[in-house]
Amino acid sequence: MATLPIGVMTGLSDKPEDEIRKVADLGLASCQVCTWNPDYYTERLGRATVDAADAAGVTVSTLWAGWPGPKAWNFTEGPTTIGLVPPEHRQARVEALCKAARMAAAVGLPSITTHVGFIPEDPNHPDFAGTVEALKVVAGACAEGGIDFLFETGQETPVTLLRTIQAVGTGNLGINLDPANLVMYGKANPVDALDVFGGYVRNTHAKDGLYPTDGAHLG
């Protein structure tokens, strides 16, 4: 069974040496880099980040790629603001994620990761089809660079995520498992979720989380 090294998230910023130093100072040799600013998806900044990581003996396991526009981490506004599901934000976010994919591929990172959003559980819902088509574009950009696209778990049930991976079908899809997100969104017991999509897990996050106790806010 493959094992994942313990690491930490750090920023993709215009001061990459400072960000990587945070990782090394913790005595860790692995990290994910994250930004919500698509202007940072440049080969120059990506190369500087990878060079700083190499110098510090740190491996960057994925680029956690944010996207432009509004985002509300709750049950009431989240479905209309998060990820590739809302039609009005979809194209701009596809473009940002494709830019992230090109940068990651150019500097040798293995994947990009993001929240896709509240993917509809009904496969006949028009937003399911629209999201799948958008994902085919992003995953295709990843495939052109020889890298993977990873879904951050959270807003969708495990079977919906599995159905989406099968519908996109590009062969370079995986999962960044955040067990606490599955709990906080009330979507699954994380251990049982592995029976559904465990074969796709490539990275993971670890934090505390509680099940929601009302209909508007996460746990």
Whether 92 is in a domain gets the answer: yes
Whether 210 is in a domain gets the answer: no
Domain containing 137: what range? Answer: 8-204
Whether 119 is in a domain gets the answer: yes
Q: Which residue pairs, CB below 8 angstroms and at least 24 apart, start in 132-138?
A: 132/164, 132/167, 132/168, 134/84, 134/90, 134/93, 134/94, 135/84, 135/164, 135/168, 136/168, 136/170, 137/94, 137/98, 138/84, 138/94, 138/97, 138/98, 138/101
Whether 56 is in a domain gets the answer: yes
pLDDT of residue 159: 98
Whether 63 is in a domain gets the answer: yes
pLDDT band at 4 (very low <50, low <70, confident <90, very high): confident
What percentage of the chain exceeds 90 in pLDDT? 98
What percentage of the chain exceeds 70 in pLDDT? 99
Whether 176 is in a domain gets the answer: yes
The CATH number assigned to the domain holding 144 equals 3.20.20.150
pTM score, whole prediction:
0.96
pLDDT band at 2 (very low <50, low <70, confident <90, very high): low
Using the predicted structure, report yes or no on whether residue 1 has a pLDDT greater than 60.
no
User: What is the number of domains present in the chain?
Assistant: 1
Whether 133 is in a domain gets the answer: yes
Predicted confidence (pLDDT) per residue in 157-209, tens digit: 999 999 999 999 999 999 999 999 999 999 999 999 999 999 999 999 999 99
Whether 152 is in a domain gets the answer: yes
